[in-house]
Chains A and B, each alone.
Chain A
Amino acid sequence: MALVKKSALWIAYLLALLSLPQFFDSVLAISIFNQMAIAIVFALSYNMLLGQGGMLSFGHAVYFGLGGFLAVHALIMIEFETVYFSIIWIPLVGGFIGLLAALFIGTFSTHKAGTVFAMISLGIGELIAASSLIFVSFFGGEAGVSGDRTFGPPFFGVEWFQNVEIYYLAVAWVFIATLFMYLFTQTPAGKMANAVRDNPERAEFIGYSARRVRYITFCAAGLFAGVAGGLFALNYEFITEENLNAATSGRVLLSAYIGGLGYFIGPIVGAVILTLMNSLLSNYSDLWMLYLGIMFLLTVLFLPRGFAGFIMMHQVAWIRGTMKQLIVPYLLSGIPAVVFVMSSIALIELSHTEDAEFYYLGLTFDSNGAMDFGLIALVAIGALVCVRKSLPQLKAAWESANEVIDETGESES
């Protein structure tokens, strides 16, 4: 039964991925979906390190970037007929180089987890990023390298001119990569990665070298980061130093964390949120990185298990059928919370804008007038007070919905 349920989930995942372009078929939507596909594989590979293996890395973009660079070089080689194979295998090329890099770097970086590992990952990240500007023949300097995916043998007549064709190829790879990363968590090496994350000392007393376990996880994460790099190369047909530097490493950390590290689905959620913010929010505001930073802070402070953790918190209430008790309390706290967030954004944007007039949510504000500024600040403060006032009722409703009923039928909260 469990197998049927799990298979159904995987089929639903595949169908969801495949059907997206049926509902959103604009060029922008397809471009965002492609970015999401890449971000999902990359974030899941990062989760193998941090969520599954307890290794906080500040340099995971190295494997993504190296995979991507070699993938672009493979495209160039296909173009010049040095090699001859279909570009559908390009993500494998990326994965191979990601794995090779991890096989080498892991020999000295996985001795310890914690601060030592984090610092080595940071150092390696900086080293490779700096090297990419030095070894211009391979990395192409600041301009990067570019290829053309339309060469090579067509795949059942598909010549990869359209982004939507790349999307379906990406879906295949995302599905395969997600499946294999999930299956890895169900193997002895994957489960021992969790054990070493929780307690490396004890793992050594049940026959396992914590270092070896970390090394295997690290290599697997490198492989899948490389696959994501290969997908990036296919989608954009170029790659630069920016794709293997600390900023890219930071972004994948953010997406895995915001999504929720403790859950397999967490990084997928995080990758989707971050891609949407990156692609859509950046059209509306130059300050989107600021909002991303604030969101990260709020997630760490109030949702330490990320968005996936927030959703999973409701499991008990869902099973018990007490979810409906939460709807009104959520609305009572949620509406003023949204008003507070929106008015705070208005205040930030109003202070930032250089135009005389500021358009926001269908309203026009005078960016030089203290009156408008004060009015919005008043709304923000009022909303915040409402949120504070409404929290006790939300807490009470939450406790009531999640009350533990013991075998005698008596409740113990």
Chain B
Amino acid sequence: MTVLSLRNVTKNFGETEIIRGVSLDIEKGEKHAIIGPNGAGKSTLFHLISGLYGVTGGSIKFKEQEIQNKQPYEINRLGLARSFQVTNIFARLNVFENVRCALLWSSGYKYSFWHLLGRQKELNEKALEVLEQIGLKDKMHFPAGELAYAHQRALELGIAIASGAEVIMLDEPVAGMSHSEAENAVELIRKITAGKTLIMVEHDMNIVFDVADRISVLVYGEVIACDKPENIRANPKVQEAYLGEVVGSA
């Protein structure tokens, strides 16, 4: 079943075409990676799907609903959550509050100013469960801005998954991490996205081929191939455009 469907999506910044007619179907439960050289438009595509940017043309459907003109918070409420390439957390709140904030809307609290958070036992337990999952329970009282980089990335993931969204989009989740940190992060990603749909932008090809069921290759704002990892690896067009050296050396 298709959960996310892009049809002829275009995005221009002034005269410059960044996304040039992308069509893509993501199936429910799929682990889908979007790869491409720097400047291919991967992050822009993420921003279009998640509502940060409006599209110039085309349509994006999430669970049969058109979302290309919706605000990020409306799209999130439909069950699509994302993380960011640059760590994007609530720096002055502590780790626990970061995760609890991410849980509030999906737990039905909306803009309530009559519920005292300290008394919401179920909500607080849920936040602790997420912290347990991402391995930050012992740092729950730390101000998020003072965490080590790898821990901030883990928190970034925690905020994305906390709401229980069925589609998770991760934008370069292991960027800037050491090899061992990246390995741990991949394990974490597997664990927390089990049973969910995952769309991921990543430069580390080992991780991409390890995690993804299907890969889309984006070059100059166009999808030049969309297939299973083994077929992508063997695709001469992809090798020519992007992967040749990387796969060969991997």
Contact = CB atoms under 8 A, between A and B. Distances in A.
Interface of A: 183-184, 186-192, 194-195, 197-199, 201-209, 212-213, 216, 220, 262
B90 A188 contact: no
Interface string B152-165: 00000001001100
Contact of B71 (A186, A190, A192, A204): A204
18 contacts: A187-B113, A188-B104, A188-B110, A190-B113, A192-B111, A194-B93, A195-B97, A199-B88, A199-B91, A202-B159, A203-B90, A205-B81, A206-B73, A206-B76, A206-B101, A208-B73, A208-B104, A209-B71
Interface in B10-62: 50-52
B76 A188 contact: no
Contact of B101 (A184, A191, A209, A220): A191
Nearest to B106: A207
Interface in B118-137: 118
A186 B118 contact: yes
Contact of A208 (B51, B82, B84, B105): B105
Interface of B: 50-52, 71-73, 76-77, 81-82, 84, 88-93, 97, 100-102, 104-106, 109-118, 159, 162-163
Contacts of B159: 202, 206
Contacts of A206: 73, 76, 81, 101-102, 104-105, 159, 162-163
A130 to B, nearest CB: 33
Nearest to B90: A198
Chain A interface mostly: helix
**6 nearest A-B residue pairs (beta carbon):** A207-B105, A204-B72, A189-B113, A188-B109, A198-B90, A206-B102
Contacts of A190: 113
Nearest to B93: A194
A104 to B, nearest CB: 19
Contacts of A186: 116-118
B105 to A, nearest CB: 3
A199 B184 CA distance: 27
A197 B208 CA distance: 35
B156 to A, nearest CB: 9
Contacts of A262: 92
A243 B88 CA distance: 41
A66 to B, nearest CB: 22
A187 B117 contact: yes
Contacts of B92: 194, 197-198, 262
Contacts of A202: 84, 88-90, 159
A5 to B, nearest CB: 13
Nearest to B103: A206
A188 B114 CA distance: 8
Contacts of A207: 73, 76-77, 104-106, 163
A207 B115 CA distance: 18
Nearest to B88: A202
A199 B116 CA distance: 22
A187 B50 contact: no
B73 A209 contact: yes
